[in-house]
Amino acid sequence: MSADSSTATQTVPVLVPTPSPEPYTYALGEGMQAGPGTIVQVPLGPRQVPGVVWDKESGDAAVDPKKLRPVTAVFDCPPLTGDMRRFIGWVARYTLSAPGMVARMVLRVPAAFEPEPPVPGLQLTDQRPDRMTAARERVLVLAAESSPMAWTRSGLAHAAGVSLSVVDGLTKAGAFEEIALPPQPVVAAPDPAFGAPDLHGEQSQAAAMLTDEVAAHTFSVTLLEGVTGAGKTEVYFEAIAAALAAGRQVLVMLPEIALTQSFIDRFEARFGAPPAPWHSDLPPRTREKVWRQVAEGSVRVVAGARSALFLPFADLGLIVVDEEHDAAYKQEDRVYYNARDMAVVRAKLAHCPAVLVSATPSVETRHNALEGRYRHVRLPRRFADAALPDVALVDMRKSPPARGGFLSPVLLEAMAETLQRGEQSLLFLNRRGYAPLTLCRACGHRFACENCSAWLVEHRFRGQLQCHHCGHHEPVPEACPQCGTFDHLVACGPGIERIAEETLAHFADARVIVLSSDMVGGVKRLRLEMEAIAKGEADIIIGTQLVAKGHNFPLLTLVGVVDADLGLANGDPRAAERTFQLLSQVTGRAGRTGRKSHGLIQTYQPEHPVLKACAEGDLEAFYAAQIAERKRGAMPPFGRLAAIIVSANDRQSAEAHGRALRAAAPASGDIMVLGPAEAPLALVRGRHRFRLLVHGSERADMQAYLRAMIAAAPNPRGSVRVAVDVDPQSFL
């Protein structure tokens, strides 16, 4: 050994945000300390990137010390905990993603890696100025009364109602000394005892079961199931209170940002302070503060979207996944993961309980609960004996809408009665815009997107035809682009704008609000509209699935589903489950405060078992039928699925690579590969798509199989991209 290498440069493996399957090795400069989990900055090619010091593997490959590049900086930031590092590794293995790409989801907020700068503040001294004025007097009295609290310069001036110069003058005169204030907490500490409710019998039993899990300090999964309005939120708030009282952190996951406001208000009423929010719309400063304070442990509760799962909690004591069945938990971009499932893994690695909450659990979760793998806590009744709505199917063949309309006389009559009683109706249709298809009556030309296999949706209010996949839009033309005929374009089928038009034709004086996720004005406007509805400032609400969730509308007593057949029509294996969940949820919006309420479901197939189950409210029969069907087809949870999506700029390359993957599939007794087949959405954003479906038995090692298959296939070349979707939710 040469003298040179015996001075042994210390090296560390660092996970960097790249698709590399392994961490890279870097040299640690003299005096640098960086144990596993430490967040560092390292050179990567010409760039500087953040990375995480990874755990040393035994067979650490020796790197030529001359080629080693040094760690540039060690951030003054709490290191990622061992359970967080194991979580990153786990998600990477399960989803067949590079660990660095999973770590990238944790390291998205680089500004949070440095401690927050202290805020300059002022503290009263014993010295008094020689000259006194009324304004100075006010400042000094206020500061003396609040002592020993320190103030910011502007905070003090504002509170005393004086100008900044008065405060500055006092500081100059020695009445205040300048000190460094600790950074402001992004939210105040929640108080577990603040607004504790009186739970009734079943609720308190359920709450006790959850608080026992929290106290046990070990991993468990509980399904908290109960009809809409049963008080599930009140009950899991008790579990949160228990975790807070034990000094631990809590993550509450919610599927929709639009919901968080009403959730946050409720949380604040219960705990005296809001939870820290986490979603993609947060202002950057708030993001930084939340990330940093979660890592330091000072933020106690986070309410967030699926990405909150990748926050660096210091001491996680509970994870709650509200509306656990919701499809929004699935991310289908870069790392394909289901946040509900990964939340269970996160809880397991953090040795804390997970609580999955739903009125209509996913078939997988409910099966796990019935099999005893998850604890099952149920709240079968609405709070305060509010009755569930009476749900009936409207047979559209027997009660057809007027020509050109989509609302049956039965539904219109119920709406008229509701209006007369001064109550609210909700019409639900999962289609944005005015009409899903526009065609020319003269030549039959249909308006399709040039980048996607999709029709352009007319948005009449904006005067546009729009693609809902890529966002492409064009003005509605006056003449057909194909045959040139004027005034012969017709709208086919309804979107919510068209339903609004029909509604106003029948109820000209009614106050109608149309709600959808793409509304002009965004989330802010949506919240205002939701509040207006809750206050009774609307008679008829028309909306997409957004309105199925969250808000309590006390005056809402009629829910009309415009087209229940819509979700059942596509070939999706989860169509039945989705439809059942959505219709139960949307009809469950009615009658939450005890008024008599109705749900009317318009359909052309009233004999369909899913719709019958909705009308009869027969949850048990529905799940039994679903579970039997999944068992027969060896579908999840009785079998395993993974999709491989191959895309390319041209159809031929995508198909060829799909075939190459298929040819590379190893022979296996319990795994079968289907495809490649052109995807139902064959073209998205100009990319041609082919799909393979890998179907395995319950015990099959899908990940090993997929890895072998991809390794044996040629590397994708040119514009070809391969995405792996383990446990796919979408088959488009």
User: Rule CB under 5 A: which residues touch Zn ion?
Assistant: 449, 451-452, 467, 469-470, 472
| Residue 228 interacting partner from ligand ADP, Zn ion, none (CB closer than 5 to 8 Å by kind) | ligand ADP
- Which of residues 230 and 610 has its CB atom nearest to ligand ADP in the complex? 230
Among 140, 150, 167, 230, binds ligand ADP (CB under 6 A): 230
Closest separation in Å from C-beta 595 to ligand ADP: 14
One symbol per residue from 529 to 558: x for binding ligand ADP (CB under 6 A), - otherwise; what is it?
-----------------------x------
Contact by Cβ (8 Å): 478, 219: no
* 632-671 binders of ligand ADP (CB under 6 A): none
Phi and psi at residue 156, to the nearest 5°: -70, -45
Tokens at 52, concatenated: 């995480």
Residue 721 C-beta: closest distance to Zn ion, Å: 18
Q: 228 or 544, CB closer to ligand ADP? A: 228
Please, what is the minimum distance in Å from the beta carbon of residue 659 to ligand ADP?
49
E strands along 203-360, which residues?
A: 220-226, 249-253, 276-278, 301-304, 316-321, 330-331, 337-338, 353-358
Which of 18, 233, 605, 703 binds ligand ADP (CB under 6 A)? It is 233
**What b-and-e string marks burial along 105-130, b requiring 16 or more CB atoms within 10 Å of the CB?**
bbbebeebbeebeeeebbebeeeeee
Taking the complex as a whole, the smallest distance from the CB of residue 50 to ligand ADP amounts, in Å, to 39
Least separation in angstroms between CB 560 and ligand ADP: 21
CB neighbour list of residue 253: distance below 8 Å, 6 or more residues apart:
303, 304, 305, 306, 308, 309, 319, 320, 321, 322, 329, 339, 340, 343
E strand or H helix at 673: strand 671-684
What is d(CA 203, CA 378) in angstroms, rounded to the nearest whole number?
Answer: 9
Shortest reach from residue 223's CB to ligand ADP, in Å: 13
Q: Of 113, 278, 383, 455, which lies in the binding site for ligand ADP, with binding defined by CB under 6 A?
A: 383
Among 126, 130, 145, 198, the residue binding ligand ADP under the rule CB under 6 A is 198
Residue 543 CA to chain centroid, in angstroms?
Answer: 20
Q: Which is nearer to ligand ADP, 383 or 406 (CB)?
A: 383
Q: Half-sphere exposure (CA, 13 Å, Cβ side) for 9?
A: 19
Binder of residue 232, out of ligand ADP, Zn ion, none (CB less than 5 to 8 A by kind): ligand ADP
Q: What is the three-class DSSP state of 444?
A: coil
- Min dist CB 698 to ligand ADP, Å, is 32
Partner that binds at residue 197, options Zn ion, ligand ADP, none, CB closer than 5 to 8 Å by kind: ligand ADP
CB of 386 to ligand ADP, least distance (A): 8
Any alpha helices (H) in 355-488, and if so which ranges?
363-370, 409-420
- Distance, in Å, from the CA atom of 644 to the CA atom of 638, rounded to the nearest integer, reads 20
Task: Give dist(CA 9, CA 409) in Å, integer.
Answer: 82
Query: What is the number of other CB atoms lying within 10 angstroms of the CB of residue 655?
Result: 18
Residue 166 or 356: the one with the smaller Cβ distance to ligand ADP is 356
- Residue 467 binds which of Zn ion, ligand ADP, none (CB < 5-8 A, kind-dependent): Zn ion
Q: How many C-beta atoms surround the C-beta of residue 102 within 10 A?
A: 24
Output 357 or 654, the one with its CB closest to ligand ADP: 357
Categorise residue 442: left if φ over 0, alpha if ψ from -120 to 50, beta otherwise.
alpha
Q: Which amino acid is at 290?
A: V
Stretch that binds ligand ADP, among 130-138, 228-236, 323-331, 676-684 (CB under 6 A): 228-236
State how far the Cα of 468 lies from the Cα of 270, in Å rounded to an integer. 39
Piece in contact with ligand ADP (CB under 6 A), picked from 193-201, 342-350, 453-461, 689-697: 193-201
Tokens matching residue 280: 């993609």
Q: How far is the CB of 226 from ligand ADP (least distance, A)?
A: 5
- Work out whether 485 is an interface residue with ligand ADP (CB under 6 A): no
> Which partner from the list Zn ion, ligand ADP, none does 198 bind, CB cut-off 5 to 8 Å by kind?
ligand ADP
Among 167, 199, 276, 439, the residue binding ligand ADP under the rule CB under 6 A is 199
Please state the closest distance from residue 219 (CB atom) to ligand ADP, in A.
24
Under rule CB under 6 A, how many of the chain's residues touch ligand ADP? Answer: 15
* Binding residues vs ligand ADP (CB under 6 A): 197-200, 203, 226, 228-234, 383, 552
